[in-house]
C-alpha cells in the first residue's frame, strides 16, 4: 500500500515537472531563437511607383506631385490602412518621398532612403532589418519591376508605362521557398 502511494506521488511530481518545463518562457524563447516552434512570418513588401509628378517645368529634375498625385498618395495610405507597416523606403527624389508622406505621417515612421538602381542592396537591407515585417517601397517606372525581380519574384507585368501610376505590387517573401507577387491597383485609374 505504501508502494502504491509512493508511485502515485512520483507520477504526480513527474506530471507537474513536465508541465512546468513545457510552459517555461525561457524554453520558449530558446526554441524561437533556434528556429523551432512557430513558423517564421513572411516579409511582405508593397512596391509602388511614385504618384503623378508635376511636369510643368521641363527643367526641374526633381519635381513634386500634381494635385492628382497628392490624391493618389492619400489613396495609398487608405489602401494600406489595415496593414502593420514597419518601414518605408524612398529614393532621394521628392516625388517618391511625397508618395509615402501620408503613410509616414499616419504611422509616425521615418522615410528611409535607398539608392534608386541598387536593387540588391535594397533587398539585403530589407531582409536584414525587416524580416517578417511589412515594408513599402516607392520607386520609379524603370525601377519598380527590377525591385520585384531582385527579391526573386517573376515580373508581374511586362513593363510600366510612363503614364501608369496605379500599380500596387505585393511581394510575399517567405522564410523558405519562392517569393510570390500579387498585382492590384489603387487610387484613380491611370490614363
What predicted TM-score, i.e. pTM, was given to this entire model?
0.80
Residue 117 lies in a domain: yes
Alpha-carbon distance of 138 to 92, in angstroms, equals 11
The DSSP letter of residue 158 is S
Specify the higher pLDDT residue, 173 or 2: 173
Question: Does residue 110 share a domain with residue 131?
Answer: yes
pLDDT at 38: 57
Question: Does residue 83 share a domain with residue 29?
Answer: no
Question: Does residue 158 share a domain with residue 80?
Answer: yes
Residues 6+ apart with CB under 8 A from 52: 65, 66, 68, 69, 72, 165
pLDDT at 1: 54
**Cα–Cα distances in angstroms (integers) from residue 23 to residues 27, 36, 43, 170, in the given order:** 8, 15, 28, 37
Q: Over range 34-47, report the average pLDDT.
A: 77
pLDDT at 2: 58
Report pLDDT digits (tens) over 104-127: 999 999 999 999 999 999 999 999
Q: Over range 12-19, report the average pLDDT.
A: 45
Q: Which domain holds residue 27?
A: 2-33
Question: Does residue 74 share a domain with residue 12?
Answer: no
Mean pLDDT of the chain: 86
Question: Does residue 160 share a domain with residue 142?
Answer: yes
Report pLDDT digits (tens) over 70-87: 999 999 999 999 999 999
Domain count, the chain: 2
Residues 6+ apart with CB under 8 A from 99: 48, 50, 51, 65, 69, 72, 73, 76, 90, 138
CB 28, CB 34: distance < 8 Å: no
Alpha-carbon distance of 16 to 36, in angstroms, equals 23
Question: Does residue 170 share a domain with residue 115?
Answer: yes
Angle at the Cα of 47 (from 151 to 101), degrees rounded to 5? 135
Q: Would you place residue 9 in the very low, low, confident or very high pLDDT band (cuts 50, 70, 90)?
A: very low
* Least confident residue range of 6-15, 86-95, 139-148: 6-15
Give the whole-number percent of the chain exceeding pLDDT 90. Answer: 78
Amino acid at each position: 500500500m505504501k508502494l502504491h502511494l509512493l508511485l502515485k506521488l512520483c507520477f504526480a511530481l513527474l506530471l507537474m515537472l513536465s508541465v512546468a518545463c513545457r510552459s517555461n518562457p525561457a524554453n520558449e524563447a530558446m526554441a524561437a531563437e533556434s528556429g523551432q516552434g512557430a513558423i517564421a512570418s513572411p516579409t511582405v513588401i508593397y512596391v509602388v511607383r511614385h504618384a503623378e509628378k508635376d511636369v510643368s517645368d521641363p527643367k526641374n529634375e526633381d519635381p513634386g506631385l500634381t494635385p492628382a498625385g497628392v490624391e493618389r498618395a492619400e489613396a495609398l495610405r487608405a489602401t494600406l490602412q489595415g496593414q502593420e507597416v514597419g518601414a518605408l523606403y524612398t529614393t532621394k527624389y521628392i516625388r517618391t518621398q511625397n508618395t509615402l508622406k501620408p503613410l509616414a505621417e499616419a504611422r509616425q515612421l521615418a522615410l528611409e532612403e535607398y539608392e534608386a538602381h541598387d536593387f540588391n542592396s535594397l533587398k539585403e537591407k530589407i531582409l536584414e532589418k525587416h524580416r517578417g515585417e511589412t515594408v513599402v517601397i516607392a520607386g520609379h517606372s524603370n525601377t519598380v519591376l527590377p525591385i520585384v525581380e531582385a527579391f526573386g519574384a517573376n515580373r508581374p507585368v511586362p513593363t510600366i508605362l510612363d503614364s501608369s501610376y496605379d500599380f500596387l505590387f505585393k511581394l510575399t517573401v517567405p522564410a523558405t521557398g519562392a517569393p510570390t507577387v500579387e498585382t492590384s491597383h489603387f487610387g484613380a485609374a491611370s490614363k
